[in-house]
């Protein structure tokens, strides 16, 4: 649980929830919830832990603009609860599933606290060690901004690694499962050249020919996967 009040205030200041509808992923003990409630028009907190649900209901008894939902965020139908802003201090183990689930939600911006390494990979640039499938997918569907590292000492219990706060703006990109699968398969071979990677069994004959033809016309066939920019990858795998 994030317990550092300065960090919580920083998150709220960035989110600018004044008069807005906020969806909080994981209410926990309500430290962030309380700060949001002071400003937001309406807050929906989704929490899976029954003990945390009880604590939230006790702490915020009588707060009419707060709706507490007992559920796993990953199981909640997209946009069931309307939100202008999404916030949350995200469990490390669920960071990737939650991020990709957010592709289906409509919102203006999100402020999330995630593992620092995860945040660094989200914003990584081509030809760096951190550049990965996560980088490409994050930057296709969102404009992610790395804002601030958060020391592990700001949490109770204290985790083994530091965290970071990220700001997400949706790109309103339509989900494309075929394209996303192609990107996933390419990054299995991130250190290979594109031409070598396409020889793998993960790709159909049609995909191999189509992508390699485009790579040839763009002069990208001998470029290594991790050196390709997001724009180059999109141009290669588009239908």
What pLDDT, on the 0 to 100 scale, is given for residue 20?
Answer: 97
Residues 193 and 156 in one domain: no
pLDDT value for 197: 94
Give the domain CATH number at 219. 1.10.8.480
If one counts every other C-beta atom within 10 angstroms of the C-beta of residue 41, the result is 12
Are 206 and 148 part of one and the same domain? no
Closest CA to 168 of 93, 101, 79: 101
- Domain stops at, among 138, 170, 202: 170
157 lies in the same domain as 195: no
**Residues 45, 148 within the same domain:** yes
In this structure, are 71 and 162 located in the same domain? yes
Are 10 and 72 members of one domain?
Answer: yes
Tally of domains within the chain = 2
**Which residues does the chain have with pLDDT short of 50?**
none
Q: Which domain holds residue 217?
A: 177-237
Residues 57 and 10 in one domain: yes
Distance, CA of 232 to CA of 37 (rounded, Å)? 43
- Domain containing 124 — which CATH number? 3.40.50.150
Query: Among the three residues 139, 170, 201, which one is the final residue of a domain in this structure?
Result: 170
State the burial class of residue 6 (Cβ atoms within 10 Å of its Cβ: 0-12, 13-18, 19+).
Answer: exposed
| Residues paired with 111 in a beta bridge | 87, 167
Are 144 and 220 in a shared domain? no
Domain stop point among 151, 170, 189: 170
Are residues 42 and 108 both part of a single domain? Answer: yes
| Whole-structure pTM value | 0.92
One domain, residues 103 and 65: yes
**Are 29 and 115 in a shared domain?**
yes
pLDDT at 72: 96
Which long-range contacts (C-beta less than 8 Å, at least 24 apart) are formed by 154-158? 154/2, 154/3, 154/4, 154/7, 155/1, 155/2, 155/3, 155/4, 156/1, 156/3
CA distances to 127, 167, 171, 179 from 137, rounded to whole Å, are 16, 16, 11, 10
Same domain, 63 and 181: no
């Amino acid at each position: 649980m994030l317990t550092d009040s300065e960090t919580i205030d920083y998150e709220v200041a960035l989110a600018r929830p004044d008069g807005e509808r906020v969806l909080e992923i994981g209410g926990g003990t309500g430290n962030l919830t309380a700060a949001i409630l002071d400003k937001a028009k309406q807050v929906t907190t989704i929490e899976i832990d029954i003990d945390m649900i009880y604590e939230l209901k006790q702490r915020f008894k009588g707060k009419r603009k707060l709706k507490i939902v007992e559920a796993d965020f990953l199981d909640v139908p997209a946009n069931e609860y309307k939100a202008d802003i999404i916030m949350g201090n995200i469990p490390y183990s669920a960071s990737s599933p939650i991020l990709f689930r957010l592709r289906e939600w409509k919102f203006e911006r999100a402020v999330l606290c995630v593992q620092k390494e995860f945040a660094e990979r989200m914003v990584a640039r081509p030809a760096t060690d951190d550049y990965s499938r996560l980088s490409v997918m994050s930057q296709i569907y969102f404009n992610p901004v790395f804002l601030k590292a958060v020391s592990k000492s700001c949490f109770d219990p204290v985790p083994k690694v530091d965290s970071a706060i990220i700001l997400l703006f949706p790109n309103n990109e339509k989900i494309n499962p075929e394209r996303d699968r192609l990107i996933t398969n390419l990054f299995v071979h991130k250190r290979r050249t594109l031409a070598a990677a396409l020889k793998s069994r993960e790709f159909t004959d049609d995909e191999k020919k189509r992508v390699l033809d485009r790579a040839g016309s763009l002069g990208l066939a001998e470029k290594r996967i991790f050196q390709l920019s997001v724009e180059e990858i999109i141009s290669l795998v588009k239908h």
